[in-house]
């Protein structure tokens, strides 16, 4: 629904396209020297996956989003997204790179002085789409998110759920390969949360890779998708559906709780060895 079919040409001489759209390889990010916000981050996300990244406030989720958007660079490690090594992007290339990623925020970030139609069309104007394309694509996208009757409304005249639908339409209008949603239902009631999540599931069914950062464990339990759990800057679990059975978040939480208890029960010598292994002094400048 949300993505237009991409034109492809077949040729025996064309190289095979990797199915991995996001790859983090031993990534760390320090904001203050010696204190990593995230550390030793390793994961891959395949084209068309639906993935939750969960964790408490301050666990490192927001840092992962900023790294994916190239708002910040890692202190060490490599991030490859949609075939691009983010460490090698020049400043003038960053805006073009982000056009392949749709982003939805908890607080919507709509332009208050522009109509619903103008908010969505704005994303097309940024990439200098022809006026005729904008006139066709914008109403079609608003129809897909159920807002055909709200094109002339302003954000302040909409409910929270409707504003988030506008934000999703804006994020999808340029046919991104990846949709990043940062707490997309954090300000919504249960009814609107369910509607937004059903919309994101439908978007995913049509080929868009969807990544949702959230601390709403109840929602994650209901949807039963891949779950990456972050705690204190580390990935402590990465559970995928296997053999048709989705990961159980209760089992994940129990596993994390046991690991935490094991850490608490370690002797001083064991903890010192772990500290040296994790925070290798060679990773940081003198």
Please determine, looking at this structure, whether the domain spanning 20-100+176-279 carries the CATH number 3.30.70.380: no
Predicted pLDDT of residue 259? 53
Q: Position of tokens 């937004």?
A: 196
**Between 62 and 256, whose confidence is greater?**
62
Evaluate whether 80 touches 23 at the Cβ level (below 8 Å).
yes
| Spatial separation of the C-alpha atoms in residues 180 and 32, rounded to whole Å | 26
Asked whether residue 281 carries a pLDDT value surpassing 90, the answer given is no
The share of the chain scoring above pLDDT 90, in percent, equals 68
Predicted pLDDT of residue 57? 87
What is the band of 240 on the pLDDT scale with cuts at 50, 70, 90?
A: confident
What is the band of 126 on the pLDDT scale with cuts at 50, 70, 90?
A: very high
Evaluate whether 51 touches 61 at the Cβ level (below 8 Å).
no
**Are β-strands 20-32 and 76-81 bridged in parallel, bridged antiparallel, or unpaired?**
antiparallel
Length of the chain, in residues: 286
> Which tens digit of pLDDT belongs to each residue from 67-89?
999 999 999 999 999 999 999 99
What is the band of 280 on the pLDDT scale with cuts at 50, 70, 90?
A: very low
Asked whether residue 32 carries a pLDDT value surpassing 50, the answer given is yes
Asked whether residue 286 carries a pLDDT value surpassing 70, the answer given is no
Q: Mean pLDDT throughout 209-213?
A: 96
Helical (H) or strand (E) element with 50: strand 50-54
pTM of the model: 0.79
Q: What dihedral do alpha carbons 147, 150, 151, 155 form, nearest 10°?
A: -100
Q: Could you tell me the residue ranges of all domains in the chain?
A: 20-100+176-279
Q: To the nearest whole number, what is the mean pLDDT of the chain?
A: 84
Residue 203 DSSP code: H
> Which tens digit of pLDDT belongs to each residue from 84-122?
999 999 999 999 999 999 999 989 999 999 999 999 999
Q: Mean pLDDT throughout 159-175?
A: 95
What is the band of 2 on the pLDDT scale with cuts at 50, 70, 90?
A: very low
> Which tens digit of pLDDT belongs to each residue from 39-53?
999 999 999 999 999
């Amino acid at each position: 629904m949300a993505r237009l079919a991409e034109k492809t040409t077949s040729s025996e001489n064309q190289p095979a396209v990797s199915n991995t759209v996001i790859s983090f390889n031993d990534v760390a990010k320090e904001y203050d020297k010696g204190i990593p916000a995230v550390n030793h981050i390793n994961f891959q996300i395949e084209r068309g996956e639906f993935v939750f990244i969960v964790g408490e406030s301050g666990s490192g989720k927001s840092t992962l989003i900023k790294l994916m958007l190239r708002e910040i660079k890692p202190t060490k490690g490599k991030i490859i997204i949609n075939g691009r090594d983010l460490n090698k992007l020049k400043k003038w290339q960053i805006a073009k790179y982000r056009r392949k990623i749709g982003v939805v925020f908890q607080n919507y970030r709509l332009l208050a002085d522009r109509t619903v139609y103008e908010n969505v069309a704005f994303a097309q104007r940024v990439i200098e789409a022809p006026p005729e394309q904008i006139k066709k694509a914008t109403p079609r996208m608003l129809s897909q998110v159920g807002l055909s009757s709200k094109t002339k409304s302003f954000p302040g005249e909409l409910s929270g759920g409707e504003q988030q639908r506008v934000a999703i339409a804006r994020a999808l209008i340029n046919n991104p390969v990846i949709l990043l949603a940062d707490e997309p239902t954090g300000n919504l009631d249960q009814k609107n949360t369910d509607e937004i999540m059903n919309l994101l599931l439908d978007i995913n069914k049509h080929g868009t890779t969807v990544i949702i950062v959230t601390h709403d464990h109840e929602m994650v339990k209901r949807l039963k998708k891949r779950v990456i759990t972050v705690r204190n800057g580390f990935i402590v679990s990465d559970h995928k559906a296997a053999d048709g059975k989705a990961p159980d978040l209760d089992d994940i939480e129990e596993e994390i709780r046991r690991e935490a208890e094991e850490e608490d029960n370690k002797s001083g010598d064991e903890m010192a060895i772990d500290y040296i292994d994790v925070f290798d002094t060679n990773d940081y400048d003198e």
